[in-house]
Amino acid sequence: MSKLSELFAQCALEDRAALIGYLPAGFPNQNDCAKIIKAMIDGGVDAVEIGFPYSDPVMDGPVIQEAAEIARRNGITMSRTLDIVKEVADTGTPTLVMTYWNPIEKYGVEKFCSDFSRNGMVGTITPDLPIEEASTWIANTKTHAIHPIFVVAPSTSDERLKLVTAQCSGFIYAASMMGVTGTQTTVSNTAGILVDRIRKISDTPIAVGLGVSNRAQAAEVAQYADGVIVGSAFVKALLQNPNDPISAVSRVANELAVGVRER
C-alpha cells in the first residue's frame, strides 16, 4: 500500500477528510519553497501537490498564475522541481506533482516517471491529458508504481465519468465547479452532486478541489469528500505576507486542518 493509500485509510478511521495542500515549485523562490511546504505540513497538511509552473496553465486562476509566473522568472526547471519533490517526500508526507502534459512529454515520459518516483513522488495529476491519449502514460505509471490522477468536472458525462475514474489511482480529482482555480466565497453545490455520481461507480477516494479557502468551506466539503484540496489560499497568503511566509501558510494550514475534522 502506498503512502497515499495509507493516508486515506487512516483518515477514514479518524472519520475525517485528508487535507491536500498545493504550491507551485520555486514559489516564492527556489530556496524557500520546500521550507514553506514543510511549514504547511507542520500546520496540518496531510499530503502535498507540487505544481510545475507552465506557460499556458489553462486550469489555473489568476492567483496561481501569478505564482507560477514568479517561479518561472526565478528560473524554475524540472530538475530543480525534482529536488524540491525529494526534499518534501523525505519528510514522509505523500508527495504528488501536478503538471500539464507538455512538460512531461518534453522531459520524457519514462524518464519523468523513473526520476520522480525514485525521488519519492507517489502520484501525478495531469489536468489536460485526455484519457483517450493516456495509454503510454498509464503504462509507465504502472511500471514505476505511480498513482495516475485525472480530473473530472460537473460537466463530465456519465459515460466519460466511468471511463476516466476507472483509470484513476490514489484518488479522483473532482473539480468543484467549471472554470479555473481560485478562492471563492462559497463552494459550488455541484461538487456534492459530482461526488455522489462518482461514488456510484467507483470505490477510489475522491478529493475535491477548486474554491476551498477557509475552515467553513473545508468543513463543508469534508462532509462528502475523502480529501479537500487547497492551493490558492496558500498562494494568496504568501503573496500578501512576503516578509513572514512561514507564519502565513501555518495560519492557513491550521485553520483548514480544523475544518476537515469537523464532519
| pLDDT tens for each residue of 175-214 | 985 444 444 455 557 999 999 999 999 999 999 998 899 9
| Sheet with 151-152, edge to edge strand ranges | 147-149, 121-125, 95-98, 47-51, 18-24, 227-230, 206-209, 172-175, 151-152
pLDDT band, very low/low/confident/very high, at 56 (cuts 50, 70, 90):
confident
| Predicted local distance difference test score (pLDDT) of residue 186 | 53
Which residues share a beta bridge with 98?
A: 51, 125
Q: How far is the C-alpha of 168 from the C-alpha of 163, rounded, in Å? A: 9
| Predicted local distance difference test score (pLDDT) of residue 110 | 98
Surface-to-core class of residue 133, CB atoms within 10 Å of its CB (0-12 exposed, 13-18 middle, 19+ buried): exposed
Determine which of 2-11, 60-69, 170-179, 183-192 has the lowest per-residue pLDDT on average.
183-192
| Predicted local distance difference test score (pLDDT) of residue 182 | 43
Contact 16, 222 (CB under 8 A): yes
Q: How far is the C-alpha of 227 from the C-alpha of 208, rounded, in Å? A: 6
pLDDT band, very low/low/confident/very high, at 263 (cuts 50, 70, 90):
confident
Q: What does the pLDDT look like over 146-175, one tens digit per residue?
A: 999 999 999 999 999 999 999 999 999 999
For residues 60-77, average pLDDT? 93
| Predicted local distance difference test score (pLDDT) of residue 210 | 83
pLDDT score of 112 more than 70: yes
Q: Which helix (H) or strand (E) holds 77?
A: none
Contact 71, 54 (CB under 8 A): no
**Domain, as residue range, for 40:** 3-259
| Predicted local distance difference test score (pLDDT) of residue 6 | 98
What's the number of domains the chain is made of?
A: 1
pTM of the model: 0.94
For residues 214-230, average pLDDT? 96
Residues known to be catalytic: 49, 60
Describe the crossing of helices 245-259 and 232-240 by its angle, rounded to 10 degrees: 150
Of 47-56, 121-130, 182-191, which has the strongest mean pLDDT? Answer: 121-130
For residues 50-65, average pLDDT? 85
- What single letter denotes the amino acid at residue 167? Q
Surface-to-core class of residue 251, CB atoms within 10 Å of its CB (0-12 exposed, 13-18 middle, 19+ buried): middle
| Predicted local distance difference test score (pLDDT) of residue 43 | 98
pLDDT score of 61 more than 90: no
| Predicted local distance difference test score (pLDDT) of residue 188 | 56
Q: How far is the C-alpha of 10 from the C-alpha of 4, rounded, in Å? A: 10
Q: How far is the C-alpha of 110 from the C-alpha of 123, rounded, in Å? A: 14
Tell me the CA distances in angstroms from 213 to 102, 144, 184, 251, one per residue in order: 29, 34, 7, 12
Please report, for the domain that includes residue 222, its CATH number. 3.20.20.70
